[in-house]
Amino acid sequence: MIGVFLGKFLGNKENIAKDLLILSAGFLITICLNEIFPEVYHSADPNIGIWVIAGVLLQMILESWTKGFEHGHFHHHQDEKNILPIALMIGMFVHAFLEGIPLANSTKISPYLLGILFHNLPISFVLGSFLFAKHNTTKGSWLIVILFALASPLGLVFGNYFNPDLQPYFLALVGGIFLHISSVIIFESNKNHKMDWRKLFLVILGIGLALVGHFFHQH
């Protein structure tokens, strides 16, 4: 909700969202490699990597519905005709719902939870900027925002009712989603493959913030 309101009132400042996205990408890919994947591959299933690949492919499908909101593609008011609100709502909800499932049975603030929060802030900024362009407010826009805000908490709640043995598979699926999103954010913003020192600094800063959580978090 904080990200949406920032997007609503600062939506014309795209650089803020893009900087947050690059920062979050460094944070997210570090969480994947230091928190998610070690736990995933600790599973006894030798084929669990297939679920990581499935997560990458699933995110590619979801992006055909959300038009890249997850990695900061700004869509302006004239783009509305190319974006179906129902498809956007379903895509964003499924994405966030799956992220919430691995939080089940967790009672503490974990690097994974921080990764979700860090990741969703710039996404919400972009979403708020698009849905409330020119400060227009509709019931449909608020419905999309509310469902997106509730999706991860609902995933957490429903995750408590799933077989605990399935937890590594959901985590692997989300790991694939995170890996795809963070990679796209980091690499697609490179224009002509020139070194962008500002972007490099933001990625390193995001990595550093995630490593602080990793080193001081009790595993």
Stronger pLDDT, 7 or 202, i.e. the higher one: 202
- pLDDT digit string (tens) for 149-186? 999 999 999 998 988 888 899 999 999 999 999 888 88
The band of 27, judged by pLDDT with boundaries at 50, 70 and 90, is very high
* % of the chain exceeding 70 in pLDDT: 83
Please provide the average confidence, as pLDDT, over all residues in the chain.
82
The domain of 182 spans 2-216
Stronger pLDDT, 78 or 40, i.e. the higher one: 40
- pLDDT digit string (tens) for 55-74? 999 999 988 888 777 665 55
The band of 196, judged by pLDDT with boundaries at 50, 70 and 90, is confident
> What pLDDT is attached to residue 73?
54
Would you say residue 40 has pLDDT above 80? yes
> What pLDDT is attached to residue 77?
46
Distance between CA atoms of residues 93 and 152, nearest Å: 8
Average pLDDT for residues 13-32, to the nearest whole number? Answer: 86
> What pLDDT is attached to residue 156?
92
Would you say residue 92 has pLDDT above 90? no
Q: How far is CA 72 from CA 16, 162, 213, 217, in A?
A: 11, 32, 25, 29
Dihedral class, residue 180 (left if φ above 0, else alpha if ψ from -120 to 50, else beta)? alpha
> What pLDDT is attached to residue 101?
92
Would you say residue 216 has pLDDT above 50? yes
Q: Give the total number of structural domains in the chain.
A: 1
Distance between CA atoms of residues 127 and 67, nearest Å: 11
> What pLDDT is attached to residue 112?
86
The pTM of this model reads: 0.84
Cβ atoms within 10 Å, residue 111: 23
Q: For residue 126, how many C-alpha atoms fall within 13 Å in the half-sphere facing its CB?
A: 22
- pLDDT digit string (tens) for 120-152? 888 888 888 777 765 556 777 888 888 889 999
Would you say residue 76 has pLDDT above 70? no
User: What single DSSP character describes residue 218?
Assistant: -
